[in-house]
Every structure is written in structure tokens, then in C-alpha cells.
């Protein structure tokens, strides 16, 4: 099979680039003496995650219970479900635990402790729970210094059916940083909030074995992880244009791309029309606020070499409009009608979610494997 014969749009994964991204973060974690708990929400695929957990303790993070069930079905037991827990999900979790999965839930309220504990008692389980901390006002968690930490901690420790496993925070604000120095500072705040909160629990006689931090930018640029037991990151396996804009990677490190067909020319407007619209690329515009706005994605030739001046400037559902970002004339000979181009994504998770499989390449246009994805909930 060759990329040139595939029906478009479809998702292409360059295995060599992915392996390099993973080994780069492994080396950074090793230097800092911390375990990596990869987030399975980016790849949603066991082949990628098996490479990402190699040499680590084997635990993963997930964002849906469908992922949890899928990865558990492929032999991964230690799973952190890193979205605040809702009561309607606990039967599903308890059933997976009854089959041998070790699923840790996330909470930042007394109400959640109570319903997790009740479900644990109902099933004869002790459900491990991490207290979510807010390190940057991003969206959720207990802020540093709030008495709620001890309130939740004490209740989770005392109640049957639930077990206090530690603390977790995610520096989502790292995506808005404007420099590497800023990301380093956000990473240090993420570490400090987690380690300090763990200290508060321990000083008050409560257990806190897990101190979990992470996002791809902070994982990449953290300089010190004292007091942290594990780092979570997902996007790093593929990288994307948002990460390139944050200097986490180069554009040429991005391992996934969308293969599209050229279906028309609008020469007076300087547009190449493709069949890769927002259903193929996602509506993510994560680079819009960055120094270089990559539109809906950066254009590459079919071999995967990026054409720096050409972006998908706008999209409709099934149409992508490629234009030169400086308004220069397009080299029409490079975009013959019926030919294929590849588009690098703004956000690997969002673009990946549009597809049920990866066409895996070895860097050439030859396809070496087809790997499935577990989408949905
Ligand atoms: C709780 C949590 N942990 C870890 C991550 C991984 O971060 P990234 O997507 O930057 O790799 C995310 C991403 O949204 C998250 O929500």
C-alpha cells in the first residue's frame, strides 16, 4: 500500500518521527528522575502507548472510559482517569475494577468523595482517588492554600469505599505561554503547587503516595521535579503546530498529517481547493493567538516536507482552501488537480479525533501498518 493510492482525507502517522518524540521525552524524564505516565487521549491507540510506556512504570492516563476499557483490554491495568468524576460513570469504573483494572479517579469536591465512597462500598471496592489541584486558574481543582484540600483529604481517607491516592495538577495555561522562560516558570509553579499540597496532606497525617503533574509544554521544559512522582503528557507522541509555536518541537518533528486531494484551483484568488475541510482537520485554531498563525494547518507535499508559506487559510465542512500566507502566487504545478498534499495539524488530539485509524509510514510514502483508534465515549 502507498499513500498515493489512499482514499482521502485520511490520517497518516510517520512512525520514525513519533519514536523520536517519545524517546526525547523519555530522556528528559530520566534526567529529572521521574516516571512518565503517558496520556492515552492523543493517540487513542495501543501500539503508540506501548512505545510510550516502554521503560516507564507502565501506568497511563486516559480522558474517557472508552479509552480505559480499550487499554485495559490490551493489558494495561494502572489507569488514571484524569477528568473530574461524575456519579454516572462509577458503575463502569467499578465493573472494570472488578475485572482487575486499577482505575484512579479525580475529584476536587466533598460531594465527589461521598458518591465515589458510596459506589466503592456498594461494589466492595476501595476506589483510588487523586485530589485535583488548580495550579493556574485553568479550569478546575483546589487552589493552593485552600482548606478544602484537607477537608477532601480527610474525608477520602476516613470513608470506606474510597482511598486517598495523592494529588494531581495540569498546567493547561502552559499553552498560552509566549516564551520558553514562561513555560519553565509555569512548570515550576505546577511542581510547587503539587509538592506543597502533598506536604500539607502528609504533615496532617494523611497519605499522599502520588504527586502527579503535567502537560506536554511543562513536561518538555521542566528543570526540576523535586517532590513529583510522575509526569503526564499526551501530545508529545505526535507533537503539533501549537507545540511548534511554543518551541516544544520543530515543524518537521510533527508525526501526524492529514492526506488530502487537490480538487480545484481558484487562480484569480490564489487558492488551491482540497477535500480536507474542517471535518478532516478539526476546527481547532490553536495557533491563532501565537506568533505564527498556521490557519487550519500547514501544507506539506505528499512526501511530508513542509511548504512553510502555504497554509489552509480557511475551511468549510469538506473543503479546505490553501493559500500563500504572504499573498504570493502559488506554484500551480506543485498542486495539480487530483494530486495529494499533506496538512500538519494545529492540535494533534483534535485532528486525530476525526479519524478511526492511522496509516503508518516509515517516512516514505509506503504504508507499513494500519493502526486503529478508539474514539468516542
Ligand atoms: C489532566 C490532564 N493531564 C495531562 C494532560 C496532557 O497534556 P498535553 O495534552 O499537553 O500533552 C491533559 C491534557 O489535556 C490533561 O487534561
8 Å CB contact between 84 and 140: yes
| Rounded Cα–Cα distance for residues 306 and 296 (Å) | 14
8 Å CB contact between 251 and 344: yes
Of the ranges 18-22, 57-61, 135-139, 358-362, which one carries the lowest mean pLDDT score?
135-139
**Given the CA of residue 174, which atom of ligand 1 is nearest to it?**
10
Cα 293 to chain center, whole Å?
21
Residue 24 lies in a domain: no
8 Å CB contact between 67 and 92: no
Check whether residue 341 and residue 217 sit in a common domain.
no
What are the respective helix, strand and coil percentages of the chain, to the nearest 5? Answer: 35, 30, 35
Check whether residue 269 and residue 207 sit in a common domain.
no
What residue owns the CA closest to ligand 1's atom 2? 170
CB 347 less than 6 A from any atom of ligand 1: no
What residue owns the CA closest to ligand 1's atom 12? 215
Q: What is the CATH number of the domain that holds 42?
A: 3.20.20.10
- What residue numbers bound the domain in which 305 lies? 3-10+255-372
pLDDT (mean) for 334-354: 98
What is the distance in A from the centroid of ligand 1 to the CA of 201? 24
pLDDT (mean) for 206-224: 98
| Last residue of one domain, picked from the residues 239, 267, 282 | 239
What is the distance in A from the centroid of ligand 1 to the CA of 170? 6
Check whether residue 215 and residue 340 sit in a common domain.
no
pLDDT of residue 214: 98
pLDDT (mean) for 341-356: 98
CA angle 315, 319, 321 (to 5 degrees): 55
**Given the CA of residue 236, which atom of ligand 1 is nearest to it?**
11
8 Å CB contact between 41 and 235: no
Residue 21 lies in a domain: no
pLDDT (mean) for 1-18: 97
CB 51 less than 6 A from any atom of ligand 1: no
The closest of 307, 297, 299 to 351, measured between CA atoms, is 297
Does residue 48 surpass a pLDDT of 90? yes
Residue 136 lies in a domain: yes
pLDDT of residue 193: 98
Q: What count of other Cβ atoms lies within 10 Å of the Cβ of residue 139?
A: 11
| Last residue of one domain, picked from the residues 181, 214, 239 | 239
pLDDT, tens digit, 9 for 90 and up, residues 31-46: 999 999 999 999 999 9
pLDDT, tens digit, 9 for 90 and up, residues 299-328: 999 999 999 899 999 999 999 999 999 999
CB 232 less than 6 A from any atom of ligand 1: yes
pLDDT (mean) for 126-153: 97
Check whether residue 76 and residue 160 sit in a common domain.
yes
Residue 161 lies in a domain: yes
CB 80 less than 6 A from any atom of ligand 1: no
Under the banding of pLDDT at 50, 70 and 90, the label for residue 141 is very high
Check whether residue 69 and residue 217 sit in a common domain.
yes
Under the banding of pLDDT at 50, 70 and 90, the label for residue 138 is confident
- Domains identified in the chain, total number: 2
What is the distance in A from the centroid of ligand 1 to the CA of 237? 12
pLDDT of residue 308: 80
CB 234 less than 6 A from any atom of ligand 1: yes
Q: What is the DSSP letter of 139?
A: S
Q: What is the CATH number of the domain that holds 287?
A: 2.40.37.20
CB 28 less than 6 A from any atom of ligand 1: no
Does residue 91 surpass a pLDDT of 90? yes
Check whether residue 298 and residue 354 sit in a common domain.
yes
Residue 19 lies in a domain: no
CB 82 less than 6 A from any atom of ligand 1: yes
CB 243 less than 6 A from any atom of ligand 1: no
Select from 39, 105, 351 the residue to mutate for testing ligand 1; criterion: most ligand atoms less than 8 Å from CB: 39
CB 218 less than 6 A from any atom of ligand 1: no
Check whether residue 275 and residue 172 sit in a common domain.
no
Check whether residue 149 and residue 295 sit in a common domain.
no
pTM: 0.97
What is the distance in A from the centroid of ligand 1 to the CA of 233? 6
Residue 25 lies in a domain: no
The alpha carbons of the chain give a radius of gyration, in whole angstroms, of 22
Does residue 171 surpass a pLDDT of 90? yes
CB 214 less than 6 A from any atom of ligand 1: yes
CB 39 less than 6 A from any atom of ligand 1: yes
| Last residue of one domain, picked from the residues 210, 239, 268 | 239
Residue 288 lies in a domain: yes
Under the banding of pLDDT at 50, 70 and 90, the label for residue 81 is very high
For the chain, the average pLDDT equals: 97
CB 352 less than 6 A from any atom of ligand 1: no
Check whether residue 61 and residue 124 sit in a common domain.
yes
Amino acid at each position: 500500500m502507498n499513500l498515493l493510492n489512499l482514499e482521502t482525507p485520511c490520517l497518516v502517522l510517520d512512525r520514525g518521527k513519533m519514536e523520536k518524540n517519545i524517546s526525547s521525552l523519555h530522556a528528559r524524564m530520566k534526567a529529572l528522575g521521574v516516571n512518565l505516565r503517558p496520556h492515552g487521549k492523543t493517540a487513542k491507540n495501543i501500539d503508540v502507548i506501548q512505545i510510550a510506556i516502554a521503560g516507564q512504570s507502565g501506568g497511563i492516563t486516559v480522558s474517557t472510559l472508552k479509552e480505559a476499557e480499550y487499554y485495559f483490554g490490551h493489558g494495561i491495568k494502572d489507569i488514571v482517569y484524569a477528568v473530574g468524576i461524575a456519579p454516572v460513570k462509577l458503575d463502569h469504573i467499578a465493573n472494570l475494577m472488578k475485572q482487575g483494572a486499577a482505575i484512579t479517579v479525580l475529584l476536587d469536591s466533598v460531594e465527589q468523595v461521598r458518591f465515589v465512597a458510596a459506589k466503592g462500598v456498594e461494589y466492595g471496592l476501595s476506589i483510588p482517588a487523586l485530589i485535583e489541584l488548580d495550579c493556574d486558574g485553568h479550569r478546575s481543582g483546589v487552589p493552593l492554600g485552600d482548606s478544602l484540600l484537607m477537608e477532601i483529604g480527610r474525608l477520602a481517607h476516613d470513608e470506606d469505599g474510597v482511598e486517598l491516592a495523592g494529588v494531581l495538577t495540569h498546567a493547561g495555561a502552559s499553552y498560552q505561554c509566549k516564551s520558553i522562560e514562561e513555560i519553565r516558570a509555569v512548570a515550576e509553579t505546577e511542581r510547587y503547587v503539587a509538592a506543597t499540597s502533598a506536604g500539607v496532606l502528609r504533615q496532617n497525617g494523611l497519605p499522599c503516595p502520588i504527586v502527579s503533574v503535567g502537560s506536554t509544554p511543562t513536561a518538555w521544559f521542566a528543570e526540576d521535579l523535586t517532590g513529583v512522582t510522575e509526569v503526564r503528557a499526551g501530545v508529545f507522541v505526535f507533537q503539533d503546530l501549537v507545540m511548534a509555536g511554543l518551541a516544544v518541537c520543530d515543524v518537521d518533528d510533527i508525526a501526524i498529517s492529514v492526506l488530502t486531494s487537490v480538487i480545484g484551483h481558484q487562480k484569480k484568488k490564489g487558492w488551491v481547493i482540497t477535500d480536507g475541510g474542517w471535518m478532516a482537520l478539526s476546527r481547532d485554531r490553536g495557533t491563532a493567538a501565537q506568533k505564527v498563525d498556521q490557519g487550519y494547518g500547514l501544507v506539506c507535499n505528499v512526501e511530508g516536507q513542509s511548504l512553510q508559506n502555504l497554509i489552509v487559510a480557511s475551511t468549510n465542512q469538506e473543503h479546505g482552501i490553501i493559500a500563500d500566507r504572504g499573498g504570493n502566487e502559488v506554484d500551480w504545478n506543485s498542486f495539480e488537480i487530483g494530486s495529494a498534499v499533506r496538512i500538519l495539524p494545529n492540535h494533534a488530539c483534535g485532528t486525530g479525533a476525526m479519524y478511526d485509524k492511522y496509516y503508518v509510514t516509515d517516512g516514505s510514502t509506503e504504508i507499513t501498518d494500519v493502526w486503529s483508534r478508539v474514539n468516542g465515549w
